[in-house]
Structure 1
Amino acid sequence: MKSNIVIFEILTAYFVLVGGIYTFWNIAENGYIEWAGSIAIILSGALSGFIAFYLALTQKKQGGVLVEDREDSDIDDGDPELGDFSPWSWWPILLAFGASIVVLGLCIGFNFWLSFLTLPILVIGVVGWVYEYYRGNFAR
């Protein structure tokens, strides 16, 4: 995480410097400030500064140096249990299909009828994925 903090601090300094140069260059060349570019570049620096600040606070709250940043740590030291995933499950495919058709219906000309007709597929995919361990061969 320390390397991420340093990268975002470098990006912050870069964007603020480039934003200042861009603004000064527009004033010297054109006699006025080009507001869209100047604000976009400077606010990009502010955004990367916020991310660096957040990461620094997160690292401080986690107790300083993380396992990933230590030189003497092994791979298994920072490898937590991420969850229980079903490699044989077909429900995510049905859920992705239903969600994509619902969003497609909303995006292309606000075809609410397409979204309305495929909403049950989305609901079936969610319910099937949530309850797949409660029935069949893998019931617990």
Structure 2
Amino acid sequence: MKAEAWIFATCAIFFTLVTPAYWLITDASDTGADWTGTSALAMSTFLAIMVALYLGFHAKRMDPRPEDRKEAEIVEGAGELGFFPPYSWWPLWCASAIAVIAVGIAFLAWWLVIIGFTLGALALCGLVFEYYRGDHAH
């Protein structure tokens, strides 16, 4: 996790340098500083610092992974990495339900929003419980 912490620390340093430069460059125009971009860069700086501190803190407390040690062998990283699901149609139905809700809100058709939430609840139940029945049941 040390490598990941260094990546985010480097991003934090970059954002720290770029934020005041952006503020100064946009302040030179006649309309004044661009507060939206400046605040977005400042928040990106704080986010990168937060993630770097979190990863750095946990890197010190946990045993080093094979990719964190210079003397590690490739074979040490072998093995099962986790469960990767096969194909699934449920994310498509969840996204479709969200699209129906968004269209209903955009056109102020509240009946469409209710239909979207109903279909979304069904699709979400199907997504959550998809591995409890059928070909891929556990």
Same fold (TM over 0.5): yes
Identity percentage of aligned residues: 25
Q: How many Å separate the matches in 2 of 1:130 and 1:139?
A: 5
> Match of 2:38, as an amino acid?
S
Q: CA deviation at 1:50?
A: 0.7
Q: CA deviation at 1:14?
A: 1.2
> Match of 1:104, as an amino acid?
A
Q: CA deviation at 1:132?
A: 3.9
Q: How many Å separate the matches in 2 of 1:84 and 1:13?
A: 36
- The aligned residue for residue 96 of structure 1 is 91
Tell me the secondary structure at the aligned position of residue 109 of structure 1. Answer: helix
TM-score computed with the length of structure 1 as normaliser: 0.68
Where structure 1 has 5 or more consecutive residues not aligned to the other structure, the ranges are: none
- Check whether the contact 2:98–2:120 (CA below 8 A) recurs between aligned residues: no
- Check whether the contact 1:101–1:115 (CA below 8 A) recurs between aligned residues: no
* Root mean square deviation of aligned Cα: 3.3
Q: How many Å separate the matches in 1 of 2:123 and 2:27?
A: 57
- The aligned residue for residue 39 of structure 2 is 39
Aligned length: 131
TM-score computed with the length of structure 2 as normaliser: 0.69
Q: How many Å separate the matches in 2 of 1:34 and 1:125?
A: 43
Tell me the secondary structure at the aligned position of residue 108 of structure 1. Answer: helix
- The aligned residue for residue 66 of structure 1 is 65
> Match of 1:78, as an amino acid?
G
